[in-house]
Structure 1
Amino acid sequence: MNGPIKMYQTRRFVRHDIPVELPKCMYTLKNIHSRNGMVDGAVDHVLAKNKKLDIFDQVKQFLKNNHKIPGMAELEAKQEEILQQLAELKKQILSIKSDLKIAAVSTTKPSTNFTSSTCPKITINNLPDIVINANPSNPPYSLQIIQKLLQDTLALTFSTYLHSTVSSLSEEAKKLDSTIVNFAPKSNVLKLNIRLIWKTIDSNTELLVSHIPILGEVNMLRYLSRAVKSSLNYDSESDCIEIDSLLDICYLLVRARTKTERAGLLQTINKSLGKAQWLVGRSQASIADVAAYSAIRQATSNNEISANLGKWFQRCETVLLGC
């Protein structure tokens, strides 16, 4: 074909020069291209004419017209008053602190010799009232030892009671009861009163501190060793982990039901003793010896312990109890 090709014309489908009415059933949106969703002084198709301004727009409008927000002056005055009171309170606290002149307490490593007269003085960290529930079938012999070991620094005075669930005490419980009650503490040391209630419970001795029970005789010893700053505290010792493990062994020994279970636990205690005089290879007794002596006396018979443990047991009665 010669010459240009003629283009045919088509009918226009969309026209942009006519107004478009939006349907009334659709919700409206603010114009995102205007400032704050609308143009100042103008109302577009997405904003109703009588729409109420929100709090932020009201504040801006007040500030723009040099108006003060209602109640703002009172709020600022109240804030200034509170800040002044806080500043005054801070001055009073600093003044009280300077008046108290709190001195730092020097920390010294405690001795592990319970029988030594040079045992450091102890302080009681606000101990609450202490109540101990014990089963007459499992007397906590450690109380007698602790009472004797701390006699130079802390007087543990006991008052004992018989619960309605107990008709009478066993011979061992009567002997322990009489020993701790009739113990004569020194008059020039701090005193801690303990109420011992003989009650029908399981083998776990219960220590009640502010009505919160601490179960187990070894856990009672842990509490006392931490609450009373004395040579009983073993937290700073290098063998504290091994002592804690032995305390757990003593807890299981009291609760063991068969001779086989007791034999395995006694073997662990005997291994810790080895050829040393005291447990954990120590040359002096520790809280582990106190717990182990009480557990073995409660739960085993003489024919169950080895000769090595038998010598250690006699040493506990001679050195710790003075028998």
Structure 2
Amino acid sequence: MPMYKVKPVSPGDIKIDLPTCMYKLPNTHAQGMNCGEHALQFTSNEQQRLPEILRKEMDHIRKDGDDDDDMNGEVDPALKALEERQDEVLRRLYELKATVDGLAKTVTTPDADLDASTLSRGPAESVFRGTADLDSLLGKDLGALRDIVINANPAHPPLSLLVLHALLCQRYQVLSSVHVHSSVSVVPPPLLSCLGPRHIDSYARQRFQLGFTLIWKDVSKLQMKFNTQSMCPIEGEANVARFLFRLLSAEPQDPLAATQMDCWIDTAVFQLAEVGSKEHAAVLRSLNSALGCSPWLLGQEFSLADIVCACCVLRAGQTTSAAANIQRWLKSCQNLGHFDCVNPLLQ
């Protein structure tokens, strides 16, 4: 039995129209409303198309302003200020979009860090004067920096890649950085600065064309990653050197010269750098004989064969005891200025 009973304060059949939201907003597209009554609402899809929406809205405002100008013969100062403010907002939005796209490319690249530093440019003029278009070489990729990530063992520094890195810097705007993987405990200081000092604009990735990241890591074979979504890793210093050399658009057009270049590269990597004294001496004799007929290994043109072979000879440390033709050739390579970046690593 209840203690007491309260009579209802309102009729039981009353109907209340409850709202579906906390408050209502006027329709922004209704006719007869002024700009002050507009309250824009964007869905998730519209937020992604914000620059396009703002541009269309601005075109509509400008059209209305042109109609008013035709009737009155003068420009409303408030409308002019609104146009200038809208142009500035659109400019900043496009810059922000380019920055976000660049950061997204970095995050999806394995072993790459957001910190970046660049290299010092070589003092000598590049011998490769051909024109190169990255869109034609690597495919069109708008709004993102093309990142080249290389994992190398500090016990065997890839000298030829450092030389190619210096050549790439003379051709493109390159954003470079050096990192140390957790698998490596100690790295000599020259290896940490082999790509040059930190660039003051390293935070603005959209200002560069290429990203060159060198990671000192405990790996058995050098590995390069470029496009992780549609390209498998490239292994071996010779193969990576070929890839980087193609970015310079300096490959021999003659099939015979291209074959000779590949033969010298394979000979240097597999016989001059990794085998015993007998094979090493035989390769040096062949090298001295070829250089006795021409200034460079392919004749009158400096090529990737000279870069790779010279780096292998310099790494072996037998430059003083080498034959006369080899010593002359090494001096010619040094005079180009492209090998200045590897000299600190040879001391």
TM-score by length of 1: 0.54
Q: Secondary structure at the match of 1:132?
A: strand
Map 1:140-219 to 2 at 5 A. 140-170=158-188, 174-182=189-197, 191-202=209-220, 204-211=221-228, 212-219=232-239
- Larger Rg computed on CA atoms: 1
Structure 1 range deviating more: 213-222 or 246-255: 246-255
- Contact 2:295 2:329 (8 Å CA) reproduced: yes
Question: Which amino acid is 1:175 matched to?
Answer: P
Structure in which a larger fraction of residues adopt helix: 2
Query: Could you tell me which residue of structure 2 aligns to residue 122 of structure 1?
Result: 133
Question: Which amino acid is 2:237 matched to?
Answer: E
- Distance, in Å, in 2 between the alignment partners of 1:305 and 1:196 is 32
Question: Which amino acid is 1:270 matched to?
Answer: N
The reply to whether residue 294 of structure 1 matches residue 314 of structure 2 is no
In structure 2, the gaps of 5 or more residues are 1-124, 341-347
- The alpha-carbon distance between structure 1 residues 116 and 225, as it changes in their structure 2 partners (threshold 3 A), is closer
1:223-260 Cα distance to aligned partner (Å, 9 max, x none): 2233x2x3432355541110110111122146523222
Map 1:11-90 to 2 at 5 A. none
- Contact 1:273 1:280 (8 Å CA) reproduced: no
Query: Could you tell me which residue of structure 2 aligns to residue 76 of structure 1?
Result: none
- Contact 1:163 1:197 (8 Å CA) reproduced: yes
Query: Could you tell me which residue of structure 2 aligns to residue 309 of structure 1?
Result: 326
Query: Could you tell me which residue of structure 2 aligns to residue 267 of structure 1?
Result: 285
- Contact 1:158 1:194 (8 Å CA) reproduced: yes
Map 1:229-244 to 2 at 5 A. 230-236=248-254, 238-244=256-262
- Distance, in Å, in 2 between the alignment partners of 1:246 and 1:185 is 39
1:173-210 Cα distance to aligned partner (Å, 9 max, x none): x43541413287999995210221112233x4221234
How far did residue 319 of structure 1 move?
Answer: 0.7
- Distance, in Å, in 2 between the alignment partners of 1:185 and 1:179 is 17
- The alpha-carbon distance between structure 1 residues 156 and 288, as it changes in their structure 2 partners (threshold 3 A), is farther
- Distance, in Å, in 1 between the alignment partners of 2:150 and 2:158 is 10
Query: Could you tell me which residue of structure 2 aligns to residue 276 of structure 1?
Result: 294
- Contact 1:157 1:185 (8 Å CA) reproduced: no
Question: Which amino acid is 1:200 matched to?
Answer: D
Q: Secondary structure at the match of 2:169?
A: coil
RMSD in angstroms over aligned alpha carbons? 3.3
- Distance, in Å, in 2 between the alignment partners of 1:189 and 1:141 is 27
Identity of aligned residues (%): 27
- Distance, in Å, in 2 between the alignment partners of 1:306 and 1:321 is 22
Query: Could you tell me which residue of structure 2 aligns to residue 17 of structure 1?
Result: none
- Distance, in Å, in 1 between the alignment partners of 2:290 and 2:298 is 5
TM-score by length of 2: 0.51
Question: Which amino acid is 1:301 matched to?
Answer: Q
Query: Could you tell me which residue of structure 1 aligns to residue 267 of structure 2?
Result: 249
- Distance, in Å, in 2 between the alignment partners of 1:118 and 1:257 is 36
Q: How many residues align?
A: 204
